[in-house]
Amino acid sequence: MRSDPIVDEVRAIRNRLAAQCEYDVDQIFRRIQRRQVESGRNYVRYPARRVTKDKDTREFGADSR
């Protein structure tokens, strides 16, 4: 597989930012939230959607007989 320089750069940046947060997902999330507040921009927030289970809904990997 060929290497894409843009993908390589994005992955390097992602790895550097994760390392700064000690690869702690909660810390990464708090950092993102803090940066959003500090930016002063308005972000769109959609209301949470209720999850419903229909009788036709099958679980992932369920037998489809």
Torsion of CA 32, 28, 18, 1, to 10 degrees: -70
pLDDT score recorded for residue 56: 61
What pLDDT does residue 52 have? 83
What pLDDT digit, counting tens, does each position of 18-64 carry?
A: 999 999 999 999 999 999 999 999 988 899 888 887 766 555 655 55
pLDDT mean across residues, the chain: 87
Model pLDDT, residue 60: 60
Query: With 60 as the cut, is the pLDDT of residue 2 above it?
Result: yes
Can you give the pLDDT at residue 55? Answer: 63
